[in-house]
């Protein structure tokens, strides 16, 4: 019947429009989500365009610290770095330079080994003992990243 056919067509058209509308809304939601995500990443990227401050000691030792809430205090002969992770001291006499970095490049690539005792910890905080020098520790330890501490300060080293 013509009338029945007409009703059916209208029903199908309405349904199609609803479906298109739903797809459009979903796409819009996706775009908004995407936008927020991009913005968040963008903000984060900008906020932390240089998320690290790298300190290089006279012996070439590099130490990187997060700049989040970072303050530096020069007290007598030492530099006290304080950030969200806590405070760390550096002997001023051993500091050569510092710079902002986009990556934690402060993982130790010690070039000038010094012959002095260092205490070594794993990244999880387990103490591995005291070595005569950094080079001795590097020769002894297995591959990985460790935290070492000597008179010049606390820093990371990588054993390859």
Partner 1 sequence: MRKTLGLIIALMLTANVWAQTMNVETGSVVYQFPAAKAGVMTYTDGTSLTIMGKTFTLSEVTNVWVDNAQVIDNTVSVVYEGTSARILVAGNVAQYVTPAVKGAHVGIGQTNTSDVDGEEIIYSLSGNTSDGEFYLSGSYKCTVELCGLTLTNASPVFSGAAIHVQNGKRIDISIRKDTENTLADCPNGTQKGCLYVKGHAELKGQGTLNIKGNLKHGIKTGEYLTMRKCGVNILSAEGDGISCSQYFLMESGSLTFGNVGDDAIQCDIDNATAGSTGQTTNHEDEDSGNIYIKEGTVDATVTNTAAKCLKAEGNVIIDGGTLTLKANGDIDLTDTSDPAFTAGIRADSYEQNGGNIDIVVNGAAGRGVTAANSLMINGGSLNVINNGATKSSGSSYFCSARGLRASTIFLKSGTVTVSTSGAASKGIKADDGNVTVTGGNITITTTGAGAYDGEDKDAKGCAGLDADGDINIEGGSLTLKSSGTGGKGMKCDGTLTIIDGTVNASSTGSNYKYSNSLSASAKAIKAGVATQKGSGRNATYEYSGGIVITGGNIIASASNHEAIESKSTLDISGGYVYANSSDDAINSSSDFTISGGFVMGNSSGNDGLDANGNFYIKGGTVFSVASSSPEVGIDANTEQGYKLYVTGGNIVAIGGLERGSSLSQACYQASSYTKGAWYALYEGNTLVLAFKVPSNNRMGTPMVVSTAGNTTLKSGVGVSGGTKIWEENGCLDCSVNSGSSVSLSSYIGGGGGGWRPW
Long-range contacts of 43-46 (CB under 8 A, 24+ apart): none
Residue of 47, 116, 132, 151 interacting with partner 1 (CB under 8 A): 47
Q: How crowded is the C-beta side of 120, counted as CA atoms within 13 Å?
A: 25
CB count, 10 Å around CB of 78?
17
Q: In 84-123, where do the E strands start and end? A: 86-91, 95-101, 118-122
Q: Taking CB under 8 A as the rule, which mask of x and - marks residues 62-91 in contact with partner 1?
A: -----x--xxxxx--x-------------x
46 interacts with partner 1 by CB under 8 A: yes
33 interacts with partner 1 by CB under 8 A: no
120 interacts with partner 1 by CB under 8 A: no
In the complex, the residues that contact partner 1 under the rule CB under 8 A are 28, 31-32, 35, 38-39, 42-43, 46-50, 53, 67, 70-74, 77, 91-100
């Amino acid at each position: 019947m013509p009338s029945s056919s007409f009703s059916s067509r209208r029903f199908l058209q309405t349904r199609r429009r609803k479906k298109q509308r739903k797809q459009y809304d979903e796409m819009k939601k996706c775009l908004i989500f995407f936008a927020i995500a991009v913005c968040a990443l963008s903000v984060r990227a900008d906020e932390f365009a240089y998320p690290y401050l790298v300190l290089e000691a006279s012996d070439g030792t590099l130490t990187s610290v997060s700049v989040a809430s970072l303050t530096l205090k020069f007290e007598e002969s030492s530099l006290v770095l304080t950030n969200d992770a806590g405070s760390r001291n550096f002997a001023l006499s051993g500091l050569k330079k510092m710079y902002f970095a986009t990556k934690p490049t402060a993982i130790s690539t010690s070039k000038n080994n010094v012959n002095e005792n260092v205490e070594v910890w794993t990244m999880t905080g387990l103490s591995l003992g005291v070595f005569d020098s950094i080079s001795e520790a590097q020769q002894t330890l297995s591959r990985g990243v460790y935290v070492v501490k000597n008179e010049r300060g606390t820093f990371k080293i990588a054993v390859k």
